[in-house]
Structure 1
Amino acid sequence: MEDKGASCISTVVEEKRKLGIMTKFGDIIDCIDIYKQPSLDHPLLQDHKLQRKPNFHNVIGESRQKNLGIKSMFELSKDECSKGTVPILRTTKEDLIREQSMLNDHILIKDLPGVHTDNYNKTGCYNIRCPGFVQTSKKFYLGQRITNTSICGGQTIDSFLAISQDTKSKNWWIIINNKFIGYFPAKLFSNMSTADHVGWGGRTKTRPSTDSPQMGSGHLPNNTASYFRQMWFKDPSAVARGPKSNQVYPLVDKPTCYGIKNYGDKRGHNGYYFEFGGPGVEGTQTILKEDLELERQLRLINKPPSKSIHTEFGDIIDCIDIYKQPSLDHPLLKDHKLQRKPNFQTGFGKSSQKNLETKFMFELSKDECPKGTVPILRTTKEDLIREQSMLNDHILIKDIPGVHFAEFFLRPHYAPYYGVAGTNSIYNPHIDSKFQISMSHIWVESGTVESTNKISLGWHVAPELYGDYASHIYTSWTVDNFKKTGCYNLRCAAKLFTNMSSADHVGWGGRTKTRPGTNSPQMGSGRFPENSGCYFREMWFRDRGDLPRGPEPSQIYPILDKPTCYDIKNYGDKGRHYGYYIEFGGPGGSCGD
């Protein structure tokens, strides 16, 4: 039987259509005369005087992350509504039927003040499915499909949202990305001259006795969850204020599934900030499985030590039997004969600058591991979790957004290569967030982009990996350009290489990584190469002749993608003490993606 109410409303909307814009998703956007939009059919709005804009200004400037642009969100990049009209998503009978079933059991009902007058008992709807919301923007429409969303461990997409009252008209304005979309007229409400509750957060809804879905990013608050930043509220003074810790209180009904964490005022780009969300019921079960897998990995990595050394930074160094170190657990190394030292000399002798001694690096000046053991940094569960998120978007992968480089390569037609070396100056470049990396390294690699075998050695500042902003010595490897294999240091046993009997590329230089749309960190010393940049000196490589050679200018070429942020300079052979010498680095900043 036909729903007469649905047919009646659909007919009213049909009469008001002027021009339809078809989106690529099949939605139809109608451009409706602003004075004939459905909301003005409400009995209480018959003599309503349209308010074109509020009597206040936004207090937050444009977001620095412009990932969620208006046109991208609403698919109106080519066709926009004409002057005097507003875009309204066309409503179908099926839309009304689906919405009615939702309103009978609304997600916002929970004995809390709602937007509507009777807690969704008899009034209320979504967007403009019933008369109420007055739209003023000709670029935005409600019910739009969001085409660009955040990727956990990758780029973050955010949007500024606000509900703010015009203290003169008493209308409640909706603001998205600092644009005024429209308002709910004060006449609609029985007791909303002011609000006695405001808030931020997330909710989920499922049928009784079924698993709850994810909320936000699907992660519990730990710097990877969904967030609100630049938070503010208005009190009777009508001045926007950030919520102090003593002014807010959390409501979490299922802490095993979801969490919430208030970080207070983080200042700068973030302002007042909190995170919320979680995996839901099914996600909790998954996390338990993941925890068991992490515990299994930790048992393989952290061997029983003959001695443990605690550093002043809180790290634990385990002295492990050299024949029982984690790498020898690899199936292909079961019968491996340990090689105590290589069958070649280092080439240029010991450095005359003893800045990077083992004892200094690992804080083992007083306590050293006994004979027959090797020092291995103890790995924690948090270390494994942080590293996994980094490997999904590795700094050494070619052609990924947010990665910039200043490097010298040896030309491939001089290959094969059997080694690369250099004495590297060590700095602690400034990093703005835990998602950034700044590194200096040498490397050998072989194979195509899809199957790159690579070993990298150097130092880096990688807060997401170590949980601090210190400089750390590191090595990393992969046999498939970090698609399925690879890790840092000793966090996993290396899968033996498929095509590394020799290398077809070797090099020296630096890289940085940041999230797309954010400023890049410093590289090296943070200065451009002018005798104050980060350097490699005493550089050499080994080719078929198996002798260490310095790279002649004709043999190397620079790879530099952002010369306004970083640079690299080859000084050639500077003679005694320096040998073959390059400088690289820079201040970073707005480098683009």
Structure 2
Amino acid sequence: MDKLLELPVIIFVSYLVLLAAGIQEGRYVKHGAHYYHHISNEIVNKTIETEDGDVFHCIDINLQPALSHPLLKGHMIQMAPTSYPLELKIKSSSDTTAKEAHLPTIACPKGTIPLLQNSKADLKTQLSFDPIGNARHHGGERAGCTTYDEIYGTQVAINVYEPKVRGQNDLSASWALMVWPNYRGDNFARFHIYWQVNTGNMPCFDHMCPGFVQVSKSVGIGGRIQPVSTYNGDQYEITVTISKDPKTGNWWLAYGRDKKPVGYWPPSIFTYMNEKAKACYWGGQVHGPTVQLHLPEMGSGHGAASGPGKAAYVRNIKVINKDSQYSIPGTHNTFSGTTRPFCYDAGDIRFNDDGARLFYGGPGNCTK
């Protein structure tokens, strides 16, 4: 049976995931996680503390954890995509007034990248989290939409909220953005990356496993996203793009409306993702050991029917085809749904020239 890989960008307030098959050699992940926690002071070029108290270490780009992966020995870092997907040649019909949310800018020197200082608790927490596969089987619930196709990337604008989460080990996510009290000891919406080795075995966050090659000297993965949206008030969003480089095969992650390259997953670490993805999911998820006892809020904490300014959304959803062109998901192979209709819902998918759009979420705290 093929192994599954979901390659989401975690804004854990909305959630975007690429589905494909397999990642190479899961046994190396644990080693990589320990490597991260024992970064020697000798390789730290500079240490920066943000206003939120996060500590980032600037280390030589050639000494980053990704390059400890046995399949990346001698890997030559690609500093930028060889090309970018071709935009849709249409006049935007977007009527959104949402503003762009941001990560803190980490001023690392040229030739270095920022790594968020993690604790042993972070490692223990990440190894207990498995959002991949059957959400309910792993104590979680989802509400969102999925498209099935030959996919070479995706782009989405994700509405940023900070849903209330009761259990310290529980989370409410939007894949690219996550509110998870026990992971960093706060209830902030943070920008994470996530991928998984094997089916349900090794979850990988940020740089805690080798594999993701970062090139940005200013984007701090794991950092807080600000400002966040308020119910019936100002709305903020973050744009996330994953695209396959047509020449190198690297899967690039870009952040923001201006698509700043953050880094990439080399195709050599995947068994099937070196070709294409088979599906993509956007929406929300709650997960954790006590989720079913105290179901937390998802998105804004209000259902899809609340509408603009009140319900969380994912919008401008596009997929990238084999010709490296953006396209709008098909109406025939894109579906919305929820695993817990009485707690969370996913509205009807709206298709327009800017892409697909979906409202989702709910208050949780239900018994049905």
- With the shorter chain as reference, the TM-score category is 0.5 to 0.7
Cα displacement string for residues 556-583 of structure 1 (whole angstroms, at most 9, x for unaligned residues) = xxxxxxxxxxxxxxxxxxxxxxxxxxxx
Superposed, which structure 2 residues align to 1:469-488 within 5 Å? none
CA spacing shift, 1:21–1:115, aligned 2, 3 Å: closer
Q: Which residue, out of 55, 72, 81, partners 2:108?
A: 81
Q: TM-score, normalised by structure 1?
A: 0.42
The answer as to 2:286 corresponding to 1:207 is no
Match of 2:198 in 1: 118
Q: Which residue, out of 68, 80, 89, partners 2:100?
A: 68
- 1:8 is displaced (CA, Å) by 5.5
Are 1:16 and 1:37, in contact at CA under 8 Å, matched by a contact in 2?
no
Name the SS for the 2:282 alignment partner: coil
Match of 1:253 in 2: 339
Match of 2:361 in 1: 277
- Cα distance in 2 for partners of 1:165, 1:215 equals 30
- Cα distance in 2 for partners of 1:24, 1:128 equals 22
Match of 1:174 in 2: 253
Name the SS for the 1:40 alignment partner: helix
The answer as to 2:325 corresponding to 1:239 is yes
Are 1:233 and 1:241, in contact at CA under 8 Å, matched by a contact in 2?
yes
- Cα distance in 2 for partners of 1:5, 1:229 equals 35
Name the SS for the 2:346 alignment partner: strand
- Cα distance in 1 for partners of 2:207, 2:32 equals 16
- Cα distance in 2 for partners of 1:166, 1:7 equals 30
- 1:109 is displaced (CA, Å) by 3.2
Are 2:54 and 2:223, in contact at CA under 8 Å, matched by a contact in 1?
no
The answer as to 2:213 corresponding to 1:127 is no
Match of 2:171 in 1: none
Are 2:108 and 2:218, in contact at CA under 8 Å, matched by a contact in 1?
yes
Cα displacement string for residues 462-487 of structure 1 (whole angstroms, at most 9, x for unaligned residues) = xxxxxxxxxxxxxxxxxxxxxxxxxx
The answer as to 2:277 corresponding to 1:195 is yes
Are 1:161 and 1:176, in contact at CA under 8 Å, matched by a contact in 2?
yes
Are 2:87 and 2:326, in contact at CA under 8 Å, matched by a contact in 1?
no
Are 1:60 and 1:230, in contact at CA under 8 Å, matched by a contact in 2?
no
Match of 2:22 in 1: none
- Cα distance in 2 for partners of 1:98, 1:244 equals 37
Match of 1:534 in 2: none
Match of 2:191 in 1: none
- 1:242 is displaced (CA, Å) by 0.9
- Cα distance in 1 for partners of 2:32, 2:320 equals 40
- Cα distance in 1 for partners of 2:281, 2:334 equals 9
CA spacing shift, 1:144–1:60, aligned 2, 3 Å: farther
Q: TM-score, normalised by structure 2?
A: 0.66
Cα displacement string for residues 394-436 of structure 1 (whole angstroms, at most 9, x for unaligned residues) = xxxxxxxxxxxxxxxxxxxxxxxxxxxxxxxxxxxxxxxxxxx
- 1:65 is displaced (CA, Å) by 6.3
Match of 2:27 in 1: none
Are 2:65 and 2:209, in contact at CA under 8 Å, matched by a contact in 1?
yes
- Cα distance in 2 for partners of 1:57, 1:45 equals 24
Are 2:244 and 2:250, in contact at CA under 8 Å, matched by a contact in 1?
yes
Name the SS for the 2:196 alignment partner: coil
Cα displacement string for residues 71-130 of structure 1 (whole angstroms, at most 9, x for unaligned residues) = xx2254xxx111111111122223223323x23xx1223289994341241x33111111
Are 2:312 and 2:361, in contact at CA under 8 Å, matched by a contact in 1?
yes
CA spacing shift, 1:66–1:275, aligned 2, 3 Å: closer
CA spacing shift, 1:120–1:27, aligned 2, 3 Å: same
Q: Which residue, out of 125, 140, 157, partners 1:98?
A: 125
Cα displacement string for residues 144-168 of structure 1 (whole angstroms, at most 9, x for unaligned residues) = 1123100010000001112211122
- Cα distance in 2 for partners of 1:245, 1:229 equals 15
Name the SS for the 1:147 alignment partner: coil
CA spacing shift, 1:229–1:4, aligned 2, 3 Å: closer
CA spacing shift, 1:235–1:9, aligned 2, 3 Å: closer
CA spacing shift, 1:65–1:20, aligned 2, 3 Å: farther
- Cα distance in 2 for partners of 1:85, 1:160 equals 24
The answer as to 2:239 corresponding to 1:160 is yes
**What are structure 1's unaligned runs of at least 5 residues?**
286-593
- Cα distance in 1 for partners of 2:237, 2:243 equals 19
Match of 2:183 in 1: none
Are 2:284 and 2:299, in contact at CA under 8 Å, matched by a contact in 1?
yes
Are 1:7 and 1:93, in contact at CA under 8 Å, matched by a contact in 2?
no
Are 1:136 and 1:182, in contact at CA under 8 Å, matched by a contact in 2?
yes
**What are structure 2's unaligned runs of at least 5 residues?**
1-29, 136-145, 149-193
Letter in 2 for 1:207: P
Cα displacement string for residues 188-229 of structure 1 (whole angstroms, at most 9, x for unaligned residues) = 111112111112111111435402111111111121311111
The answer as to 2:61 corresponding to 1:34 is yes
- Cα distance in 2 for partners of 1:128, 1:6 equals 8
Letter in 1 for 2:125: R
Cα displacement string for residues 362-409 of structure 1 (whole angstroms, at most 9, x for unaligned residues) = xxxxxxxxxxxxxxxxxxxxxxxxxxxxxxxxxxxxxxxxxxxxxxxx
Number of residue-to-residue matches in the alignment: 271
Match of 2:301 in 1: 218
- Cα distance in 1 for partners of 2:43, 2:117 equals 11
- Cα distance in 1 for partners of 2:66, 2:234 equals 37
Letter in 2 for 1:187: S
CA spacing shift, 1:88–1:68, aligned 2, 3 Å: farther
Name the SS for the 1:95 alignment partner: helix
Q: Which residue, out of 221, 224, 227, partners 1:145?
A: 224
Are 2:65 and 2:207, in contact at CA under 8 Å, matched by a contact in 1?
yes
- 1:15 is displaced (CA, Å) by 4.2
Superposed, which structure 2 residues align to 1:83-482 within 5 Å? 83-100=110-127, 102-103=128-129, 106-110=130-134, 115-121=195-201, 123-177=202-256, 178-192=259-273, 193-207=275-289, 209-222=292-305, 223=307, 224-267=310-353, 271-282=355-366
- Cα distance in 1 for partners of 2:41, 2:66 equals 14
* Identity within the alignment, %: 30
Superposed, which structure 2 residues align to 1:442-591 within 5 Å? none
Cα displacement string for residues 490-522 of structure 1 (whole angstroms, at most 9, x for unaligned residues) = xxxxxxxxxxxxxxxxxxxxxxxxxxxxxxxxx
Letter in 2 for 1:203: Q
Letter in 2 for 1:225: A
Name the SS for the 2:297 alignment partner: coil
CA spacing shift, 1:87–1:53, aligned 2, 3 Å: same
- Cα distance in 2 for partners of 1:5, 1:249 equals 37
- 1:187 is displaced (CA, Å) by 1.1
More strand by share: 2
